[in-house]
Amino acid sequence: MNITIDPERNEVDALLEFVGDLQGKRVLEIGAGDGRLTWRYAPNAGEVVGIDPNPERINRAKNDMPEGLRGHVVMLETTLEEFQRDVQESLFDVALMSWAL
């Protein structure tokens, strides 16, 4: 059985309605997991950094990344605390966290 998650794009439409235009903006996605949501909004953003502490999910995201997003999206295996420690200043216009609690 094939399962299609959010075929009407309600989740992405709600996200874009909330954060506004992502064109040219740097986005930090906390809890990016396997990129399920990332691949759907990233074409609208300037640059995306997705972080997740789960190595299996991040590896899956890197392997499944659509070709058109390579170089535009970076997926990192790290916790928010580790990432925050390594970043000296605010480098992002938007921070997202969905399904990560």
Over residues 46-73, the pLDDT tens digits come to 999 999 999 999 999 999 999 999 999 9
5 within some domain: no
Q: Give the residue numbers spanning the domain of 73.
A: 21-97
98 pLDDT above the threshold of 90: no
58 within some domain: yes
45 within some domain: yes
User: What pLDDT sits at residue 55?
Assistant: 97
3 pLDDT above the threshold of 90: no
| Total number of domains in the chain | 1
Dihedrals φ, ψ of 97, to 5°?
A: -145, 115
8 within some domain: no
76 within some domain: yes
14 within some domain: no
71 within some domain: yes
Report the CATH number at residue 81.
3.40.50.150
84 within some domain: yes
User: What pLDDT sits at residue 16?
Assistant: 81
Over residues 4-59, the pLDDT tens digits come to 666 667 777 887 888 889 999 999 999 999 999 999 999 999 999 999 999 999 99
